[in-house]
Amino acid sequence: MNTTYEAAEPRREEVDALEGATVLEFGTPWCGFCRAAQPLIAGAFASQAKVRHIKVEDGPGKPLGRSFRIKLWPTLVFLKDGHELARVTRPQGMEALREALEKIGA
């Protein structure tokens, strides 16, 4: 599992062209909700080695987050071949993450 939010975000066109199962995690390293959710997210991804996990540092004026209409952190967007199939915001339990992973074939 990726543990660092990347300041350099991919372009939306690059994300839309990704093949297979991908999860975009929008947040920041200083966000309390994001830090609190990390053990839960790590647990959900522990057996998902084939799922691409991209952690994107979000904030005002960041185009990728705006293109996905991100409002709260952390928000995880679950994609299959570049298409959004599920979204989990501020996860509270494993069940929502597992259901979202199932939707993308993980």
Would you write out the chain's pLDDT as a tens digit for each of its 106 residues? Answer: 566 898 899 999 999 999 999 999 999 999 999 999 999 999 999 999 999 999 999 999 899 999 999 999 999 999 999 999 999 999 999 999 999 999 999 7
Q: Which amino acid is at 102?
A: E
31, with CB counted inside 10 A (0-12, 13-18, 19+), is middle
Comparing CA positions, the residue from 90, 105, 78, 79 lying closest to residue 38 is 90
Which helix (H) or strand (E) segment holds residue 41: the answer is helix 32-45
How many angstroms separate the CA atoms of 31 and 98, rounded? 23
For the question of whether the overall pTM of this predicted structure is more than 0.85, the answer is: yes
How many angstroms separate the CA atoms of 68 and 56, rounded? 12
